[in-house]
Structure formats: C-alpha cells, structure tokens
Amino acid sequence: MNIEFKYDSVAALVAAAQQAGEPISALVLRQQAQHLEKNEAEVFAQMKETYAVMANCIEPGCDEHLRSTSGLTGGSAFKMRKAVQQGKTLTGSVLGGALYRALAVSELNAAMGRVVAAPTAGSCGILPAAMLTMQQDLGYSEDACIMALFTASAVGMVIATNACVAGAQGGCQAECGSAAAMAAAAITELAGGSPEQVADAVAIALKNILGLVCDPVAGLVEIPCIKRNASGVAGAFVAAEMALAGIASAIPADETIWAMKKVGDAMSPSLKETAEGGLAITPTGQKLYEQVFGTTGGCTGCGGCAKG
C-alpha cells in the first residue's frame, strides 16, 4: 500500500488513518520506511534504539548526587522517586512515576549526561516519561510504546511545519507544549484511543499550556524548565484521560496549533528564551545569574527588583 500524506495537518493524519483502518503509527512507520528506502523492521529498529536511549536516562538521572554543570539543579528526580517508592505521593505511583522520570531525563540533560531532544532539549523529559510510565507502571509492551513514538513524531512534525518547537521562536508553549501534545497523542493511541481521540488529546494538551513563556534563569535550560517537564507530562496524561473518556476538543488540533503560532508571534522577545523577562529577572533569578556567572545579567532596567 502506497502511503501519500504530508505532515501538514493533524486532520490529514486522522483522515489517512480512518481510510486505512489502522492507527496513525502504522501509517507513519510505513510511510517513513518508503521515504527512507528501508523496510519497516529497519525503521522500527531505529526507533527502538531511540527508546533505549530514553530508558537509559532514568537511573543516572535519579542519582542523589547528580548536579548540573552550573550547580543550579539536580537531585529532584531522586526525591520524587523516593516519595513514590515510599508510597508518599498524593496521586499514586503512575503520576508520581511520570513525574520522577520527566525530572530524571531533564536533570541528566542539564548535567550534560545525555541530551534527548523530544522534540527539544528543553522539553526532553516529557515524551520519554510518558512512554516509560505506560510500559513500567501500566504494563504496556515495549514494542507498543515504540510504535506510539511514531504517532508522537508525526504530531511533532505537524507542529514544526505549521508553528514551531523552539522556545526562542514561540516561547515554552512551543517546547513543553509541543512535547506534551506529542506525549498525549502517544498515550491516547497506546491506550486504544481512536485517531479522532488522538487529535482531541493533542488539542487539549496544547490548549492547557497555550501562552507559556520561555524565561530561563541565567539563560540556562534548567530553571524553570526542568520542573515544567514534570508539569508537561502531567498535562499529557490529563489530556489523554479526557480524550479517552470521549471528551472532544471544541477547537480542532490544527486550529490550536495555529493559535499557538499566533500567540508566539505576539509574544514579547523578552519572553522567548532571552532571559530578559519572567522568572529570569526576578530578584532571586538575578542572584542565581550572579551565582553562576559572577555578575548580574539579564536586567532590563524595569526597576522591578527595586520595587521588591
């Protein structure tokens, strides 16, 4: 079967899956194999290697003594996993497991241990945490989780085509937002959701993070980025839960992506990874900059610090 569809809309992915009577992932795997002039087994094997890299980030990322090069972050994944293991989480082991895995991948990234761009380094923990939690806490097979990554990848390509996935261009909504949408799509398909439900999950995930600014303290992808990865995977599960329950998004996924681009275009440059706005220019943010670099940086002269 010759698959001819472009990654220009979520609606096109859904329509192709409906026509073929298959999950989006199956179509993407077949199409990518044709495009790369490889067989499906070879392409699947490549994705399996990627998944293994994601999985191999968890243990080192949960090291109690792990610290980033700047010294600003590290150790949060260890604390979160300890709380899960001791049964001290409010929401149970599934969400707790997703949180510590997102933190682990992000903290290992910040410590220059391994960079997993999914779709970016700043949002690297969300998709791995979602899939590994589905496998390790909810019992889905490794192969099924790997297949779901093809659906996530397709959603990521649509977002990149019609909006962006870079914080410097669209704010953190473009990074953690895109990753949350990709993860929500993967979770939904993996849990047996229809292609239409996958699209609803994408829309819900993006809507819930629309407008999020990119304001890295000291210009480093650590604060608040790492904790936003934990929030992003939680949002992905929220979106998937609603979509799987039959709750449709009033605004279609493609229009939500369009809205994200418009919001990003309207966003002030100070809120797009320049470290000139948001949390980066708070008094504590400025102190952390000085702690890392020895001098105060990122000041816009707004007088906010003086006003307290």
Strand partners for 307: none
Over range 48-77, report the average pLDDT: 97
Which pLDDT does position 136 carry in this prediction?
A: 98
CB neighbours of residue 69 within 10 Å: 13
pLDDT band of 101, cuts 50, 70, 90: very high
Q: What percent of the chain has pLDDT over 90?
A: 93
Q: What is the mean pLDDT of the chain?
A: 94
Q: What percent of the chain has pLDDT over 70?
A: 94
Which pLDDT does position 4 carry in this prediction?
A: 66
Global pTM? 0.94
Over range 127-154, report the average pLDDT: 98
Over range 156-173, report the average pLDDT: 97
Over range 115-126, report the average pLDDT: 93
pLDDT band of 224, cuts 50, 70, 90: very high
pLDDT tens string 28-45: 999 999 999 999 999 999
Distance CA 119, CA 288 (A): 27
* Residue 150 token pair: 């093809």
pLDDT band of 116, cuts 50, 70, 90: confident
Which of helix, strand or coil describes residue 155? helix
Contact 237, 187 (CB under 8 A): yes
Lowest mean pLDDT of 141-155, 269-283, 291-305, name the range: 291-305
Q: Closest Cα partner for 102 from 158, 179, 198, 210?
A: 179
Which pLDDT does position 297 carry in this prediction?
A: 55
Q: Does the pLDDT of residue 6 top 90, yes or no?
A: no
Assigned CATH for 10-267: 1.10.4100
Which pLDDT does position 5 carry in this prediction?
A: 74
Which pLDDT does position 301 carry in this prediction?
A: 42
Amino acid at 91: T
Q: Does the pLDDT of residue 306 top 80, yes or no?
A: no
* Residue 256 token pair: 């939500």
Distance CA 103, CA 58 (A): 9
Strand partners for 272: 214
Strand partners for 214: 272
Q: Does the pLDDT of residue 63 top 50, yes or no?
A: yes
